[in-house]
Chains A and B, each alone.
Chain A
Amino acid sequence: EPEVTQTPSHQVTQMGQEVILRCVPISNHLYFYWYRQILGQKVEFLVSFYNNEISEKSEIFDDQFSVERPDGSNFTLKIRSTKLEDSAMYFCASKFGQTSNQPQHFGDGTRLSIL
């Protein structure tokens, strides 16, 4: 069964450094998402991406965050200057259809640890 893959599984970074999290969504999917889950808290929406542009973003997704689909397969989340509070699991998700009645499928996440 096709799946969303994320790399790396664990990223350790010094505070203030830039980090790029990578995702390969399911190949025929059109909508792409990033969510994060701080330890012990809910999964929270960060951003959705469709047709090479952001379609919606949360208040968490400030100017330090950016997303890109650099080629036909990868979808990346960049955090420009990491803070301690960015430590979390980051999940990528993708969805097939342009209509709303399609579920999102998640990758296994990247655990980001900021020191």
Chain B
Amino acid sequence: QKEVEQDPGPLSVPEGAIVSLNCTYSNSAFQYFMWYRQYSRKGPELLMYTYSSGNKEDGRFTAQVDKSSKYISLFIRDSQPSDSATYLCAMSNKAAGNKLTFGGGTRVLVKP
């Protein structure tokens, strides 16, 4: 079983729709959960950062973590064509150096 799994997509939605992304993981030691956005030929750009279970909202973005199910989600409301990118989930354990373990990324296309 892969440590972090993410549907590669592509996920195509009309402008204004809600984009729903998720990752599952197998390592129960993961405590910190991140979502990064990656445009073509660019580095991962941090969108959301959450600790343990619960919800976090920032503007159009909502991140959810369900540690009991080992499942994390990212929702993008009122999607825009500029949201078209690859979305990477990443997670780490509690060690101070905490390397990130990434999912494979979901490609999202928001059509005008």
Contacts and interface: CB of A to CB of B under 8 A. Distances in A.
A45 B45 contact: no
B34 A103 contact: yes
Interface residues of A, number: 29
Contacts of A109: 41-43
Interface in A77-110: 91, 93, 98-101, 103-109
Contacts of A103: 34, 46, 49
A104 B95 contact: no
A104 B45 CA distance: 10
A108 B38 CA distance: 9
B44 interface: yes
A101 B99 contact: no
Interface in B67-112: 88, 90, 92-105
Contacts of A107: 43
B7 to A, nearest CB: 13
Interface residues of B, number: 28
A42 B49 contact: no
Given A100-B92, A103-B34, A45 B101 contact: yes
Contacts of A55: 97
Interface in B1-39: 31-32, 34, 36
A56 B32 CA distance: 18
B34 A106 contact: no
B61 to A, nearest CB: 14
Nearest to A101: B51
Given A43-B88, A103-B49, A98 B43 contact: no
